[in-house]
Chains A and B, each alone.
Chain A
Amino acid sequence: MDQQARLAVDERPVIDLAAFDGAMFDLDGVVTRTATLHAAAWRELFDQFLRRRAQMGQEPFTPFDIERDYSRYLDGKPRLDGVRSFLASRGIRLPDGEPDDPAGRDSIFGLAAHKNELFRAALARSGVEVFETSVAFIQQLRKAGVKTAAVSSSKNAAAVLAAVGLNDLFDLRIDGLDAERLGLKGKPAADTFAHAARSLGVAPARALGVEDALAGVEAIHAAGYGLAVGVDRSDQAAALREHGADIVVRDLAELLIVSGPSNLRQGGATSAPTSTADLAATPTSDPDWVVVEDGFKLTREHELESIFAISNGHLGSRGSLAEGSAMSSPATFVAGLFDPGPGSRPSLAVLPDWARISISIEGRPLRLDDGTILEHRRTLDMRQAVLWRTWRHQDAAGRITTVRGLRLASQADRRLLAQSVVFTPENYTATASLDTALEDVATRRFSDGVTVAMAAASVLRKAGDLGAADSHSVRALPVKFELELGQTYQLDRVVAVCTSRDEAQPEGAARRQATQALDTGMAAVISDHRRAWAARWAASDIQIEGDPAAQRALRFAAYHLLSAADPDDDRVSIGARALTGGAYNGHVFWDTEIFMLPFFILTWPRAARALLTYRHHTLPAAREKAARHGETGAFYAWESAGSGRDETPSYVVTPSAEIVPIVLADQEQHISADVAYGVWSYWRATGDDAFLLEAGAEILLETARFWAGRAKLEADGRRHIRSVVGPDEYHEAVDDNAYTNSMAQWNLEIGQTVAGLMRKRWPERWLALSLALNLEAEEADAWGNIAQELYTGFDDRTGLFEQFEGYFALEEIDLAAFEPRNATIDVLLGRERIGRSQIIKQPDVVMMLHLLWDRFAPEVREANFRYYEPRCAHGSSLSPAIHATVAARLGRTELAERYFRQASEIDLADNMGNAAGGVHAAALGGLWQAAVFGFGGVRLGDGGPLCEPNLPTKWRGLSFRLRWRGQDHEFRLRSDPGRNKDREP
Chain B
Amino acid sequence: MNHDPVILVPLDGRVDALPALSVAKVFSKLQDAPVRILHVAEHAPPVAELADRLGLEAEALHGACLESLPGEPSATILAAASRLKARLIVLCTHTAPESPADVIGATALAVLRGTSCPVILVNPAYTPHDWRLTRVLLPHEGTPATSDAVKPGAELARLARAELLVLLVAATGAHVSQEPGSLTAPVYLDQPQHEWPAWAAEFVERLACICPLADLRIRLLLGRGSPSSEILRVARAEAVDLILLTWKGNWAAEHAETLKQVVRNAGCPTMVVRV
Contact = CB atoms under 8 A, between A and B. Distances in A.
A655 B196 contact: yes
Interface centre among B147, B174, B187, B220 (most CB of A within 10 A): B187
Interface in B158-195: 168, 170-195
A326 B176 CA distance: 25
Q: Is the interface of A mostly helix, strand, loop or mixed?
A: loop
Contact of B184 (A302, A587, A822, A874): A822
Contact of A917 (B172, B198, B210, B220): B198
A827 B205 contact: no
B260 interface: no
A1 interface: no
A821 B221 contact: no
B222 interface: yes
Nearest to B221: A655
B244 to A, nearest CB: 18
Contacts of B205: 302, 327
Nearest to B188: A877
- Bin chain A's interface residue count: 35 or more
A576 interface: yes
A378 B266 CA distance: 46
A583 B193 contact: no
B193 A822 contact: no
A827 B189 contact: yes
Interface string A645-674: 000110111111100101010000000000
Contacts of A916: 198, 202
B188 to A, nearest CB: 4
B100 interface: no
B187 to A, nearest CB: 6
A920 B32 CA distance: 49
A823 B199 CA distance: 12
A812 interface: no
Contact of B202 (A818, A826, A917): A917
A662 B171 CA distance: 25
Contact of B190 (A299, A576, A827): A576
A945 interface: no
B233 to A, nearest CB: 12
B221 A657 contact: yes
Interface in A750-769: none
B102 to A, nearest CB: 31
A870 B144 CA distance: 34
Contacts of A878: 190
A824 interface: yes
Contacts, number: 146
Nearest to A918: B198
Given A297-B181, A299-B206, A327-B209, A655 B220 contact: yes
A845 B223 CA distance: 32
Interface stretch (A243-251, A409-417, A907-915): A907-915
Interface string A805-830: 00000000000011111111011101
Contact of B189 (A297, A584, A826): A826
B187 A914 contact: yes
B190 A822 contact: no
Given A648-B193, A822-B170, A656 B185 contact: no
Contacts of A653: 196
Interface in B189-229: 189-200, 202, 205-206, 209-210, 220-224
Contacts of B179: 911
A821 B184 CA distance: 10
Interface centre among A298, A583, A878 (most CB of B within 10 A): A583
A899 to B, nearest CB: 14
Given A662-B192, A910-B180, A913-B202, A828 B186 contact: no
Contacts of B168: 655
Nearest to A913: B183
A324 to B, nearest CB: 12
A656 B165 CA distance: 12
A585 interface: yes
Interface centre among A828, A906, A913 (most CB of B within 10 A): A913
Contact of A830 (B210, B220, B224): B224
Interface string A243-286: 00000000000000000000000000000000000000000000
Nearest to B207: A299
Nearest to B202: A916
Contacts of A912: 187
A573 B216 CA distance: 40
Contact of B224 (A298, A587, A651, A823): A823
A822 B173 CA distance: 8
A911 B189 contact: no
B192 A660 contact: yes
B16 to A, nearest CB: 37
A347 to B, nearest CB: 10
A300 B202 contact: no
A296 to B, nearest CB: 10
Nearest to B186: A914
Nearest to A582: B198
B182 A913 contact: yes
B178 A911 contact: yes
Given A824-B185, A906-B188, A916-B198, A298 B209 contact: yes
B170 A300 contact: no
Contacts of B172: 817-821, 828
Contacts of B187: 824, 912, 914
Contacts of A662: 192-193
B184 A823 contact: yes
Contact of A583 (B142, B183, B192, B198): B198
A918 to B, nearest CB: 9
B221 A877 contact: no
Interface centre among A648, A830, A917 (most CB of B within 10 A): A917
Nearest to A905: B187
Contacts of B171: 821-823, 828
Contacts of A300: 180-181
Interface centre among B170, B178, B191 (most CB of A within 10 A): B191
B194 A583 contact: yes
A467 interface: no
A910 B224 CA distance: 25
A876 interface: yes
B181 A822 contact: no
A830 B175 CA distance: 20
A876 B222 contact: no
Nearest to A922: B190
Interface string B127-169: 0000000000000011010010000000000000000000010
Given A326-B209, A913-B184, A654 B196 contact: yes
A649 B186 CA distance: 19
A875 interface: yes
B127 to A, nearest CB: 28
Contacts of B223: 656
A585 B186 contact: no
A821 B222 CA distance: 14
Contacts of A589: 191
Contact of B170 (A326, A649, A821, A906): A821
Contact of A656 (B147, B186, B199, B222): B222
B222 A655 contact: yes
A594 to B, nearest CB: 13
B192 A652 contact: yes
Contacts of A298: 144, 181, 209-210
5 contacts: A651-B193, A820-B172, A823-B185, A911-B176, A913-B199
Interface of A: 297-300, 302, 326-327, 576, 583-585, 587, 589, 648-649, 651-657, 660, 662, 664, 817-824, 826-828, 830, 874-879, 906, 910-914, 916-917, 920
Given A656-B223, A817-B172, A879-B188, 16 more contacts: A299-B147, A300-B181, A648-B193, A653-B196, A655-B221, A660-B192, A820-B174, A822-B175, A823-B184, A823-B222, A827-B222, A828-B172, A874-B188, A875-B188, A876-B188, A912-B187
9 smallest beta-carbon distances between A and B, as pairs: A299-B181, A823-B170, A823-B185, A655-B222, A913-B183, A877-B188, A822-B174, A649-B193, A652-B193
